[in-house]
A and B are shown apart, each in its own frame.
Chain A
Amino acid sequence: MALINPKKKEVQVKIVYYGPGRGGKTTNLEYINKKFRSRIKSEMVTVKTYNDRTLFFDFLPFDIGMIKGYTIKIQFYTVPGQVKYNATRKLVLRGVDGIVFVADSMTLRQEMNIKSLENLRENLASFNKDLNNIPLVLQYNKRDLGKQGIPILPIETLESDLNGSLKVPYFPASAVTGENVAATMKKIISLTVISLREKLDLGGK
């Protein structure tokens, strides 16, 4: 749950990038960190293994300024996508306010996407949270691979696999080129802050 400091008029929002291994979660944060470096005052922390995989998580905090008198501090996390690190994923998910599910568009990863989304649903359930009731955005990453002749799933297939019942906003994207990376981030911040409006008593003016 978001940390709210009424005295300092400060809100800390936790957003987690979730998805199958090698799907591009870290690349999303790295793109934002690089592109908007001059506006993000803090450093991105990333804990990787020798072969460039996320071992624990990535962490990118930044302020987006004041909304209705509250300073909004956003904390982005990624989880390790590898199946064996489920305990870590659960740990990072604790207290989550919003989620971006980064799906891999490659045809070969179709099953992994579905399993990872199911894993997200289960892990949230262990904290008594429902995937259907949490701010969520889907990102269909690696769309650029299609131009390189690598088989990718059509958006319709990804939608029916992952978003059939959820009906949440989605973005075709490429974290490598930056296509829709900021748009995804803007959408999840927007959905999450709006979901917190009652707790913050926003809109009272």
Chain B
Amino acid sequence: MKNEKDISILDELNNRLDDFFSDELTEDNISDIFDEPVKKSSINTPRPVNCQSVKKNFDDLKAILLEMDWEINEDNLNNYLNEISLLLNCYSDDRVIYLFLKLLKSLGHYMLYKQSNANPDVLKFLYNSFGCIEKIISEKMTEYDRNLLILKETEKFKQLKSTIFPKTNNKAANNSFENVDEKKKMTFKSLPEEIQKEINDYIENEINAKINELKKRLNKIK
């Protein structure tokens, strides 16, 4: 039976693993979200908001963003993600705002994972996107203007995405040992020292055993 300590660690561990293995921030998913609104015709007209607490949620989110401007920590990032989740439910029928919120959520997950190592441009982008949502809500924008706003942000996002996720060469996983090039040799060297030593010892023992066996055979022939 699990005790309280186990449950506490388990909760923290599960949250960490959920973040790590979540589908929120894979390069492909972000592309999926932001490739869609590029087609102007696919953007629907604004629809009514689904919940009454939306103003409070926005105020809370703004307060959290101001807090994050001062300091980013796990607590305010978690609060930020909670508010975004609530707002996503409210705006599930308004495609433009929904997409902005999905973007904010993805960037929130990225920041939660990277924390102090997060790209500083992400935070600027996050404030800017929030400003866009405020503009859409406060001003009576035409559908064309709404579309234009998200198209512009999409372009900016793509540039930011290429900075966050530089194209990497994943071929290492697919190449055979026979074709090892200099880069692969480097990755092989990156194995823990202990393991490298074990491999070397193992190979050395195997070779020595073979040599001894051959010597014995040779002696018998003589």
Contacts and interface: CB of A to CB of B under 8 A. Distances in A.
Contacts of A12: 192
Contacts of B27: 37-38
Interface residues of A, number: 43
Contacts of B191: 45, 59
Contact of A190 (B17, B164, B176): B17
Interface residues of B, number: 38
Nearest to B28: A35
Contact of A202 (B5, B165, B170, B198): B5
Interface in B71-108: none
B68 interface: no
Interface stretch (A61-69, A115-123, A144-152, A155-163): A61-69
A44 B170 CA distance: 9
Taking chain A's interface residues, is the majority helix, strand, or loop, or is none over half, making it mixed? mixed
A42 B10 CA distance: 26
- Those 8 A-B pairs whose CB atoms lie nearest each other, nearest first: A203-B5, A182-B21, A43-B187, A186-B17, A48-B176, A44-B173, A43-B172, A47-B177
Interface of B: 4-6, 8-10, 12-14, 16-21, 25-27, 113, 164-165, 168, 170, 172-173, 175-178, 187-188, 190-192, 195, 198-199, 202
24 contacts: A12-B192, A30-B173, A33-B170, A36-B20, A37-B168, A38-B26, A39-B25, A39-B113, A42-B190, A43-B190, A44-B173, A45-B188, A46-B172, A50-B178, A55-B177, A64-B16, A65-B19, A67-B9, A75-B192, A186-B18, A190-B10, A194-B6, A203-B4, A203-B5
